[in-house]
Amino acid sequence: MTDRVSSYYSLLSQKYPNLTKEEERELIEEAKKNNYQALSKLILSHLKLVVKIAQRYRSKNLSLDDLIGEGVTGLIEAIYKFDEKKNVRLATYAAKRIKYRIREAIFSEAIFYFPPKIQKLAKKIKRESSEILSQPEKLAKKFKVRTSEIKQALIFLNLTRFNLEDEESSEENPIISEDTQDVQFEKISLKRIIDECLSHLSEKERIVIKKAFGLAPYENPESLTKIGKELKLSRERIRQIRNEALKKLRRFLNKRLTLISPFL
């Protein structure tokens, strides 16, 4: 743990000590009856578990606070699904659900998030001929970058629509060849898949997703706080809209393509 996380963990341990098995069962029973105070006490007493799990993960576009927030969502789900008849403590049962929610959030981000460096590289290689676009090793040598970065940029080109002077059809002339891609896509154009996915969302969900991941017409990803201010909604509400939209997108995407997550 970092010093910051260790201090936070110690503070939680002192302020919210572990519950006894009897206290835990009683609070779970009350929480399931919509007793908010009981639910809050369960969350606070297990928050150090969420922090401990969350700090093990790293994400390019999610802060530790975001990961903790996702973990708390998993904890709440575990509380309501907990079977008091089983001889197991809530922490043991909830750990899997907490990890699942955090991994799911990271995976969702990984689908759409590409660092600014990769986005800039994609705009550069967009101008190259279709012949060299199928040879990432040559592109890497030409632009003096790693081959893995070229492959990421090629994937990005298939995911987004650029407002460049030469608007070529990526559907008729795919940028990524089957021989060079790390991630296996179905033959249908990925760009068309994303457009079709977004069409399944409400207008507000589309705006949130496009702003959060820097999809056209927005050039760069925006923070949840900034999006909230623009839409006059709280950060938490924006997070909820984003997560619900991502669930819809994943359901559709999972039917059309297979992505290999970098953290698995």
The string of pLDDT tens digits covering residues 195-247 is: 667 787 889 998 998 888 777 777 677 888 889 999 999 988 998 998 888 87
CA distance 155 to 170: 12
Which band of pLDDT confidence, cut at 50, 70 and 90, is reported for residue 262?
very low
Average pLDDT, the chain: 76
From CA 71, how far away is CA 225, in angstroms rounded? 19
Per-residue model confidence (pLDDT) at position 60: 62
Of the ranges 56-65, 84-93, 183-192, 213-222, the best mean pLDDT one = 84-93
Q: Which amino acid is at 253?
A: L
pLDDT of residue 144: 92
Please give the average per-residue pLDDT across 23-32, as a whole number.
Answer: 93
Per DSSP, the three-state class of 260 is: coil
pLDDT above 60 for 260: no
